[in-house]
Chain A
Amino acid sequence: MTVQMQSRRQAAEVPAAGRPRRRRSSGLSRSGGMFLVLVAYAAPVLLVVSNSLKSDQEILDDPLGLPASPTLHNYTEAARTMYYLGAFWNTLVLTVTSVVVLCFFGSMTAYFLTRVRWRFNQVVFYLMIAAMLLPFQVLMIPMIKLLGSTGMLQQSWSIVYIYFATGVPLAVFMYAGFIRSIPREMDEAAMLDGCNRLQTFFRVVLPLLRPVTLTIAILDALWIWNDFLMPFLVLRRPEQRTLTLATLAFVQSHTTDYGPMMAALVLTVLPILVAYLFMQRHIVEGLTKGAVK
């Protein structure tokens, strides 16, 4: 106990003295260290990229080595079988629409459920949290039956609705955690200025939610971009296929076309990586704004 107290005091004193000088050098050495960690952490991904440039036989012969004579053959093969551009477009539309719907309604729901003390709200909130713990296997067949019987599986838009229904608990859960940390006084001040609840939400609270919105958007985009089951069930025609469906075409029960599969994987992952790089500036910006509060 005393040790802890001591160290806390000691630590509290350090920043005042040590901050300005130490910052630059530790920033550099730390990024160097993190780069090393990154190489180890990303090794499986690097392995995929390296193997995507080899022939199937070379992959099995020498899975770890660099490609002896790099070839783009796998990429042309993958792009041809995948109908890449079409699949890319389908996946993009599906992902963006679902994520927007999820963030929009998820944040509103979380706001109301956390701000208004009402027993019914609690029931809904805990029901949603409990649903996050349901093994999907429990829901799958009844859900498919239900969707099939209502004709929803014949409609490609219904996949957005399904993502909304199954993804909203996580969004609400994460928004709720964040909203709780925003002081109620801010809402009350806005209400005093004459805003109604909707205006308060959109003008005052929603802008503050930007960092968590971006986090949720990333997580949901990843999930939907990579989801297999729903597109598999709903989007049956080749011209509706998503990238994941197309990639899995190379994985089969007695044999796997490793080369084209890895190339397909790189082609699937690349767009979302670019999107992340592009969005990152906004994420950092959003995060600093959130931190100022």
Chain B
Amino acid sequence: MLRKSSVLAAGLTMLLGACSAAGPSGDSSTAKDGAVKFTGFVGGPGILTQTQDAIKVFNKENPQYQMTFVQGQLNQAPYQQLLTMYASGNVPTIFVVDAGDVAKVADKVVDLSGEKWAQEEYPWARQQGAVDGKVLAAPQSATGIGLAFNRKLVEAAIGGAFDPTTIKTRSDLAALFAKIKAAGTAPVIVSPLPWLLAGQFLTKMYDAQGDDSARARFIAQLKAGTADLARDKVFNGLMDTFDLTLKYNLNAARPIAGTIDTDAKAFADGKAAFWFIGDYQWPQLQALGASPDGDGYGIMPVPVSDDPTDPWNQKVVATSSFMMAIDKTVNTPAQQDAAKAYLDWYVHSASGQDFMVNKTGGVPAYRNVTLQPSNPIGRMVAADLQKDRTYTPISGLPADHWNVLGDQMIKYMAGKIDRAGLAKAITAYWKTQK
């Protein structure tokens, strides 16, 4: 019985999988003038035209290649789109994927360990793109996540220069918020967005457990149902900070009414001094009138305790925005080489770096790139990276973690559940994970 079903399974696998091996015919991968044609599903939110322009530059500087831009449906995660792309057999030569999804495409992409840029990556970035020690993906750029701030508003409230490193504990932050509020400005914005709250804020309860092995131990306990969140120091510390930000939230009267657009506008308009967000949001802030000149904006860590020596209070999250990987299942070796040339161009050429840093405001994830990001939040992240004042978030969370627990975080914001209820929901969620 078992055997029969496995034969069937093998047959079905062939029906589903083998067919895609047919791939594009050899003719279509070279243009008339002999240039290698390949496709790129690259770029990201807010940088569509910049990406298209950059590809034009790449093609002009590298006449032996001809790269075509593939437009995604950018309101979906790249991995979801990859599912349909792989199903259809129309797979771009080079594509973006979230750091957490690199492992899922591991058997379909090219090993890039030998590439020159792989030696220039920051170690954490290299680790995010690696599976079993092999580098499979290249970060598009680094991105910092934390409490973004409007320097002018903070300094007006404290009556002097603001040094974010002086905020070492939650109490420091509370005192600062109180001063800002007294000065007549809303201290902070908390946006009710699942991907932000569970994908980037709540994750600190895993991160701040310690090093990789401590994190893994904690996750294992959650899965086994033996972790006691009600007594967990990190979880409670993080939630205390969350309560603090909710208390001083610009939208405290209507905590879950904000949207990414209204909150971005409020922050750009100077309605609040802090916003929990990442520097990836800068293109929109600038479009809404925030000035990129000077050090008008910055970013600082979310404190999780009242211990001034706690390292988790001193570091912002640094992670890669998207990772770029090269398909080997339907794209020819010549196309794969062309895509490698694109990555090389992106990291090592003047115009590639210009695109990475100047045009899109990205923070370089490569040590050889010395350009300063065109936006103030990014410059601060870049400086923190160089001073090793960042940490890398946990990887390999379940695919729907942000979605399911994000809803619970918003319920908490709306007052529908209390901290015990949230802890219960988190525990219940993890128990269903294998």
Instruction: Say if the two chains contact directly (CB < 8 Å).
Output: yes
**Inside 8 A of A4's CB, which chain B residues have their CB?**
none
Complex contact A56–B287 (CB within 8 A): yes
Complex contact A254–B288 (CB within 8 A): no
* Number of chain B interface residues as a range: 35 or more
Complex contact A149–B74 (CB within 8 A): no
**Inside 8 A of A233's CB, which chain B residues have their CB?**
84, 88, 90
- The residue from A60, A145, A153, A252 contacting B48, defined by CB atoms under 8 A apart: A252
Q: Cα distance A151–B89 when bound, in Å?
A: 8
**Inside 8 A of B284's CB, which chain A residues have their CB?**
254-255
Query: Could you tell me the distance in whole angstroms from the C-beta of B309 to the nearest C-beta in chain A?
Result: 35
The yes or no answer to B261 lying at the interface (CB within 8 A) is yes
**Inside 8 A of A153's CB, which chain B residues have their CB?**
88-90
The yes or no answer to A49 lying at the interface (CB within 8 A) is no
Q: Given A60-B288, A141-B83, answer yes or no on A255-B264 (Cβ-Cβ < 8 Å).
A: yes
Q: Cα distance A44–B155 when bound, in Å?
A: 43
Q: Cα distance A135–B175 when bound, in Å?
A: 54
Query: Could you tell me the distance in whole angstroms from the C-beta of A32 to the nearest C-beta in chain B?
Result: 38
Complex contact B75–A252 (CB within 8 A): yes
Complex contact B88–A151 (CB within 8 A): no
Chain B 2-24 interface residues, beta-carbon cutoff 8 Å to A: 15-16, 19-20, 22, 24
Q: Given A141-B83, A145-B87, answer yes or no on A255-B19 (Cβ-Cβ < 8 Å).
A: no
- Please name the residue on chain A nearest to B262 by beta carbon: A60
- Please name the residue on chain A nearest to B265 by beta carbon: A60
- List the one stretch of A9-17, A99-107, A243-251 in contact with chain B: A243-251
Q: Cα distance A39–B74 when bound, in Å?
A: 33
**Inside 8 A of B84's CB, which chain A residues have their CB?**
140-141, 144, 232-233
Chain B 283-307 interface residues, beta-carbon cutoff 8 Å to A: 283-284, 287-289
The yes or no answer to A190 lying at the interface (CB within 8 A) is no
Q: Cα distance A232–B75 when bound, in Å?
A: 14
- The residue from B49, B265, B280, B289 contacting A254, defined by CB atoms under 8 A apart: B280
Q: Cα distance A252–B68 when bound, in Å?
A: 20
**Inside 8 A of B261's CB, which chain A residues have their CB?**
60, 255-256
**Inside 8 A of B260's CB, which chain A residues have their CB?**
254-255
The yes or no answer to A177 lying at the interface (CB within 8 A) is no
**Inside 8 A of B73's CB, which chain A residues have their CB?**
228, 232, 248
**Inside 8 A of B68's CB, which chain A residues have their CB?**
237-238
Q: Cα distance A228–B264 when bound, in Å?
A: 29
Complex contact B46–A255 (CB within 8 A): yes
Per-position contact with B for A227-245: 1 when CB-CB < 8 Å, else 0?
Answer: 0100011101110010001
**Inside 8 A of A199's CB, which chain B residues have their CB?**
none
- The residue from A145, A154, A236, A255 contacting B16, defined by CB atoms under 8 A apart: A145
Complex contact B20–A252 (CB within 8 A): no
- The residue from A81, A144, A237, A256 contacting B87, defined by CB atoms under 8 A apart: A144
Q: Cα distance A252–B49 when bound, in Å?
A: 13
Q: Cα distance A251–B49 when bound, in Å?
A: 13
Per-position contact with A for B14-44: 1 when CB-CB < 8 Å, else 0?
Answer: 0110011010100000000000000100000
**Inside 8 A of B89's CB, which chain A residues have their CB?**
148-149, 151, 153-154
Q: Cα distance A253–B283 when bound, in Å?
A: 13
The yes or no answer to A57 lying at the interface (CB within 8 A) is yes
Binding site for A on B (CB under 8 A): 15-16, 19-20, 22, 24, 39, 45-46, 48-49, 68-71, 73-77, 83-84, 87-90, 260-262, 264-265, 280-281, 283-284, 287-289
6 A-B residue pairings within 8 Å (CB atoms): A57-B289, A60-B261, A145-B15, A245-B71, A250-B48, A254-B280
